[in-house]
């Protein structure tokens, strides 16, 4: 208690700096995943992707980032074990933010798309197990996270593979691809609007206090009416935009699918904007959750609460950090997702993004642990496999998988070092 009273302001300022650093890492790495398919396929330029992300990531983070957040992120730590030593929670959350931020910086410099959720969870596990007690860690939750390494990319890859196969059979492999694209793309647009609305309602808006209740017992069924309306709106608006595109004459030795890909490029503008909102609303918690815990303990004079109100300034700090990270360093991971795994076109990028969105919906509905990063990488792999194993850069894929395995222990190792360093400085 004395440490909190004596050094509270300094600890809070440091916590804000570390949280901003972590949010920067989310922007540089995780947001770049969401934008990578749009940029890599040529549907958007890097500047356009950053502009869209600045608007929709910040809007998602601020408007739907959550009014109340758990101070003990993902149920990893038992707060009952540290009631008498609140400074340990503050040191641990600060160390976790700094540790996860450092690992995301390293991964972003290497161009590795890693999970920001797993980075912060690994850091929390490290400080809790070594700094408090092995019994303080919910190892069942950690096991579920490890299982998601397989579940997320496999499910997303399967859906994306099936989607791109349908695009090939219904549009690309027909005698008149442009005519069939005009016919079927609005249907895909409907599914995009439907799925993204489901992502936003089930995952993005879950902490805002908005409760959509149409009398069903299931959250999934209660979200469906609004998602259906969203799908119809997207399909209608998209159909109007598609009607203005005319088929260009194919030059000698030219790409007969150029006009078709232009139609899918319009579709990807919708997916990029909506996925940015959903991502900002969900993943900003990785940076602001631990900061909310720090602020709560310091403001209360040392009381460790199971939950705390989330001040708007923390959401703003997280939102600014995310967009700053994407704008300054997101290009590295964008290049990995969009260009280095497999060659993407707007039609392939669409299949990957819709596959990833669908996976997030299913995972949210069934309560499965999920990683946006792993989901998107798996989706891109699925699209690549639809063209054969030779379409994949297996060396890049291998490096990505290795970075996933290293993420938890790397976060834990950094957090242990930073935890004992902070403890030595302030005690």
Per-residue pLDDT of the chain (427 residues; tens, 9 = 90+): 677 777 888 999 999 999 999 999 988 887 777 778 888 888 888 888 888 888 888 777 776 655 434 434 456 777 667 777 788 888 999 999 999 999 999 988 888 888 888 888 889 889 888 888 888 788 887 787 777 778 888 888 999 999 989 998 999 888 888 888 888 888 988 988 887 787 677 765 655 566 666 667 777 778 888 889 989 998 898 888 888 887 777 665 556 677 888 888 888 887 787 777 777 776 777 778 788 888 888 887 767 665 556 677 888 888 889 888 888 888 788 777 777 788 788 888 888 888 887 887 777 666 665 777 788 888 888 888 887 777 788 888 888 888 888 888 999 999 999 999 999 998 7
Q: How many residues does the chain have?
A: 427
Taking residue 226's Cβ as centre, other Cβ atoms within 10 Å add up to 16
Number of H helices, E strands in the chain: 15, 2
Q: What's the gap between Cα 402 and its chain centre?
A: 19
The residue among 1, 33, 23, 173 whose CA lies nearest residue 105 is 23
The residue among 391, 382, 384, 390 whose CA lies nearest residue 162 is 382
d(CA 84, CA 70): 19
Q: Which helix (H) or strand (E) holds 307?
A: strand 307-309
Token pair for 7: 């050094």
Under 8 Å between Cβ of 330 and 27:
yes
Taking residue 407's Cβ as centre, other Cβ atoms within 10 Å add up to 26
pLDDT of 206 reads: 58
User: Which residues lie across from 308 on neighbouring strands?
Assistant: 69
- 367 sits in the region (left: phi over 0; alpha: psi -120 to 50; else beta) called left
Q: Are strands 307-309 and 68-70 parallel, antiparallel or unpaired?
A: antiparallel
Q: Which value, in Å, is the radius of gyration of the alpha carbons in the chain?
A: 22
CA angle 119, 349, 226 (to 5 degrees): 80
Query: Which residues contact residue 127 at a Cβ distance below 8 angstroms, ignoring those fewer than 6 apart?
Result: 91, 92, 95, 96, 412, 415, 416, 419
Under 8 Å between Cβ of 177 and 218:
no
d(CA 141, CA 336): 30
Per-residue burial over 331-368, b = 16 or more CB atoms within 10 Å of its CB, e = otherwise:
bbbbbbbbbbbbbbbbbbbbbbbbbbbbbbbbbbeeeb
Q: Token match 């991971």: residue? A: 333
pTM exceeds 0.85, yes or no: no
Collapsing DSSP to helix, strand or coil, 173 comes out as coil
Token pair for 149: 């390494």
């Amino acid at each position: 208690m004395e440490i909190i009273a004596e050094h509270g302001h300094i600890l809070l300022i440091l916590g804000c700096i570390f949280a901003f650093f972590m949010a920067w890492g989310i922007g540089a790495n995780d947001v770049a995943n969401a934008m990578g398919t749009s940029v890599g396929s040529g549907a958007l330029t890097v500047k356009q992707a950053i502009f869209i992300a600045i608007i929709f990531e910040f809007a998602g983070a601020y408007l739907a980032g959550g009014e109340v957040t758990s101070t003990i992120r993902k149920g990893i730590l038992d707060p009952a074990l540290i009631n008498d030593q609140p400074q340990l929670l503050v040191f641990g959350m600060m160390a976790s933010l700094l540790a996860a931020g450092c690992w995301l910086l390293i991964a972003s410099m290497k161009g590795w798309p890693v999970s920001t959720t797993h980075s912060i969870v690994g850091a929390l596990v490290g400080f809790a197990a070594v700094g408090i007690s092995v019994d303080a860690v919910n190892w069942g939750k950690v096991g579920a996270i490890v299982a998601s390494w397989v579940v997320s990319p496999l499910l997303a890859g399967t859906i994306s593979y099936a989607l791109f196969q349908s695009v090939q059979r219904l549009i690309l492999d027909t005698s008149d691809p442009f005519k069939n694209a005009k016919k079927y793309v609005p249907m895909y647009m409907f599914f995009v609007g439907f799925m993204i609305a489901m992502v936003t309602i089930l995952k993005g808006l879950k902490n805002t206090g908005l409760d959509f209740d149409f009398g069903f017992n299931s959250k999934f069924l209660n979200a469906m009416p609004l998602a259906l309306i969203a799908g119809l709106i997207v399909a209608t608006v998209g159909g109007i935009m598609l009607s203005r595109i005319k088929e260009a004459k194919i030059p000698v030795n030219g790409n007969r699918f150029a006009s078709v890909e232009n139609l899918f490029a319009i579709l990807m503008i919708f997916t990029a904007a909506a996925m940015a909102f959903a991502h900002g609303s969900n993943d900003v918690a990785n940076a602001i959750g631990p900061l909310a815990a720090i602020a709560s303990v310091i403001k209360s004079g040392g009381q460790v609460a199971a939950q705390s109100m989330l001040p708007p300034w923390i959401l703003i700090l997280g939102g600014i950090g995310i967009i700053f990270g994407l704008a300054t360093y997101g290009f590295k991971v964008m290049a990995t997702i969009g260009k280095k795994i497999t060659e993407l076109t707007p039609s392939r990028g669409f299949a990957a993004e819709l596959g990833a969105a669908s996976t997030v919906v299913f995972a949210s509905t069934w309560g499965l642990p999920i990683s946006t990063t792993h989901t998107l990488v798996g989706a891109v792999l699925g699209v690549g496999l639809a063209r054969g194993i030779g379409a994949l850069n297996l060396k890049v894929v291998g490096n990505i998988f290795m970075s996933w395995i290293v993420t938890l222990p790397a976060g834990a190792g950094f957090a242990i070092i930073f935890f004992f360093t902070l403890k030595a400085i302030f005690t």
